[in-house]
């Protein structure tokens, strides 16, 4: 049983079980309130599922791509929860959940997943289709581009506002059950944050 957290777009938290599926999922679509709501959503997801922390076997973190500030909130929350619960962190690329939703709903063939990167840009990941387990197969990306410069224009395109933490968690369950590797523990920011650290105090001359 896994707790899954994603803040690459909106904020989504879910509790999933390999056999029972998605036990709970709570979502906040506002992309500016990640830090305010993630703790509350974690509590709600666990309460709705009726699952104690001791029953969890791991914590899934959506690794993006996503804007720096929002994405790091979810990853930090997942890592802190994992440490506190004494459970492993399970990294999963966020766009994989959107692709899995598409393929799980009957979609097939090449797919381009697109999410808002702000600054009039888009994050994208291209998929060739699902594999024999129904897991999305990444063909290209994740990448960052202007809306009129997105690649693979011939692919079916899916634009998403929120990544389903439930799908994210089920991807992790399927990978674990079939001994598939997890994604690297490396956030996919794809560009520098808006705010940079100070280089130190400036010299003042009289």
Answer yes or no: is 10 within a domain: yes
Question: Domain range holding 7?
Answer: 2-177
Query: Mean pLDDT in the chain?
Result: 93
Total domains, the chain = 1
What is the reported pLDDT for 203?
Answer: 58
pTM of the model: 0.91
What integer pLDDT is reported at residue 14 of this predicted model? 98
Q: What is the mean pLDDT of residues 142-162?
A: 96
Residue 195 pLDDT grade (very low, low, confident, very high; cuts 50, 70, 90) = very low
Question: Count of CB atoms within 10 A of residue 89's CB?
Answer: 17
In a domain, 190, yes or no: no
135 located within any domain: yes
Is residue 192 in a domain?
Answer: no
Of the two residues 29 and 87, the one the predictor is more confident about is 87
Q: Is residue 65 part of a domain?
A: yes
Residue 88 is assigned to a structural domain of this protein: yes
Query: Quick one: average pLDDT of 125-143?
Result: 97
CATH of the domain at 153: 3.30.420.40
């Amino acid at each position: 049983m896994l707790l899954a957290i994603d803040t690459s777009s909106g904020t989504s938290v879910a509790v999933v079980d390999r056999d029972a599926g998605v036990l709970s999922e709570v979502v906040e679509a506002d992309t500016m309130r990640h830090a305010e709501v993630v703790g509350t959503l974690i509590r709600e997801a666990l309460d709705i599922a009726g699952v104690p922390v001791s029953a969890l076997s791991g914590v899934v973190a959506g690794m993006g791509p996503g804007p720096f500030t929002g994405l790091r909130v979810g990853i930090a929350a997942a890592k802190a929860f994992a440490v506190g619960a004494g459970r492993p962190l399970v990294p999963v690329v966020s766009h994989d959940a959107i692709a899995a939703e598409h393929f799980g709903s009957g979609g097939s063939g090449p797919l381009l997943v697109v999410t808002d990167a702000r600054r009039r840009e888009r994050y994208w990941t291209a998929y060739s289709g699902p594999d024999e387990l129904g897991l999305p197969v990444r063909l290209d990306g994740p990448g960052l581009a202007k809306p009129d410069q997105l690649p693979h224009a011939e692919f079916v395109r899916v634009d998403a506002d929120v990544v389903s933490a439930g799908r994210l968690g089920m991807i992790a369950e399927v990978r674990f059950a079939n001994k598939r590797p997890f994604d690297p523990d490396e956030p996919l920011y794809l560009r520098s944050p808006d705010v940079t650290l100070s280089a130190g105090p400036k010299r003042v001359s009289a």
